[in-house]
Homo-oligomer: A and B are copies of this chain.
Amino acid sequence: MTDQASLRRHDQKSTEILLAVWRVIAERGISGVTIRAVAARAGVSVGRVQHYFATKDELIRASADLMISAAESIHTEATAATGPAAELWDLLTHPIPHASASPTGTAVFYSFVADSVRDPQIAAILASAKSGAAERAAALLAQLDPDLPDPDAAGRELIAVSDGATLGTLIGSLNPDQARAVIGSAISRIIGEDVIGAGSQHLA
Closest to A134 in B: B173
Is A70 positioned at the interface, with any CB of B under 8 Å from its CB? no
The answer to whether A173 touches B117 (Cβ under 8 A) is no
Closest to A178 in B: B156
| Separation of A127 and B32 alpha carbons in the complex (Å) | 26
The answer to whether A126 touches B156 (Cβ under 8 A) is no
Quick one: copies of this chain in the complex?
2
Is A199 positioned at the interface, with any CB of B under 8 Å from its CB? no
How many residues in A have their beta carbons less than 8 Å from beta carbons of B?
Answer: 53
The answer to whether B157 touches A186 (Cβ under 8 A) is yes
Q: Which of A8-16, A46-54, A79-87, A100-108 contacts B (4 or more CB under 8 A)?
A: A100-108
| Separation of A185 and B106 alpha carbons in the complex (Å) | 28
Residue interface mask A148-173, B partner, CB < 8 A = 1: 00000110110111111101101111
Is A55 positioned at the interface, with any CB of B under 8 Å from its CB? no
The answer to whether B123 touches A172 (Cβ under 8 A) is yes
Query: What is the CB-to-nearest-CB distance from A201 to chain B, in angstroms, rounded to a whole number?
Result: 21
Residue interface mask A85-115, B partner, CB < 8 A = 1: 0000000000000000001101110110111
